[in-house]
Amino acid sequence: MNSGEGFANTAPIYEGYFLPRSLAYYAHGWFGLRYYFMKILNKGGFSFTTMDELESVCDIMKLCYIVLDFEEEMAIVVSSSS
């Protein structure tokens, strides 16, 4: 997988061989995710207008991650904060 500012693409490999017909291109890259994240934060009452504030959004995003099982992750968070 390769993800850039304005795009992301995947190059699937099976048993060491590249599968060119399965190549996927996505028009949403880092910029699209940052914009969506800022939109969510704006709805929460946060505003980002200066370059430093926009850079803060990127710093926050570096701490984010994707979970496969949301319920399991929430149970871990609840048990660790008790």
Query: Rounded distance, CA 7 to CA 33, Å?
Result: 10
Q: Greater confidence, 5 or 62?
A: 62
Range of the domain at 62: 2-81
| Contact partners, residue 9, CB within 8 Å, separation at least 6 | 1, 2, 23, 24, 25, 26
What is the pTM (predicted TM-score) of this model? Answer: 0.50
Q: What is the pLDDT of residues 8-24, one digit of tens each?
A: 667 778 888 877 777 67
Token couple for 42: 């704006």
Q: What is the pLDDT of residues 21-70, one digit of tens each?
A: 776 766 666 677 788 888 899 999 998 889 888 888 888 888 888 788 99
Query: Rounded distance, CA 55 to CA 57, Å?
Result: 5
Q: Looking at the 3D structure of the chain, how many domains does it have?
A: 1
